[in-house]
Amino acid sequence: MADKKLSKQTVLVTGASSGIGQAIAGANVVINYHSDEKGATETYTAIQKEGGTGLVIKADVSKEAEVIKMFADAINKFGTIDILINNAGIQKDSKFIDMSLTDRLAGSNGYKPYRPVSMRPRGC
């Protein structure tokens, strides 16, 4: 599961409680989740089984204060963030044509993925 090339790196993964986010593991992994605490905990357990270290952080990436705190907590624990994987998203089981413009553009799938990148501290 863990790529040994990542053994000295710190990775922050948004939306890491399921799907692609849960499949990513490395040495130091900051596991961000919004509502699926059980999935985030399972991700943490899988990382530990592979010899990695993790930090589970609940944060809504559309909220600036929560993103700033998420980065601060991660940097406080690991010293830096080397890699950011913006994986957060919302799946709505609707036909695209039936979704409102707000559903298509707002929330995780529109603006949210850019929030962690724009809020990261300099040097990360």
* CA 29/CA 96 separation, integer angstroms: 33
Collapsed DSSP state (helix, strand, coil) of residue 84: strand
DSSP state, residue 63: S
Q: How confident is the model at residue 111 (pLDDT cuts 50, 70, 90)?
A: very low
pTM value? Answer: 0.66
As assigned by CATH, the class of the 4-119 domain is alpha beta
Greater pLDDT, 35 or 114: 35
Greater pLDDT, 109 or 14: 14
Greater pLDDT, 50 or 124: 50
Residue 108 has pLDDT above 50, yes or no: no
pLDDT, tens only, 6-44: 667 787 887 777 666 556 555 688 999 988 999 999 989
Query: Which residue's entry shows tokens 């790529």?
Result: 3
pLDDT, tens only, 52-68: 888 999 998 878 889 88
* Structural domain boundaries in the chain: 4-119
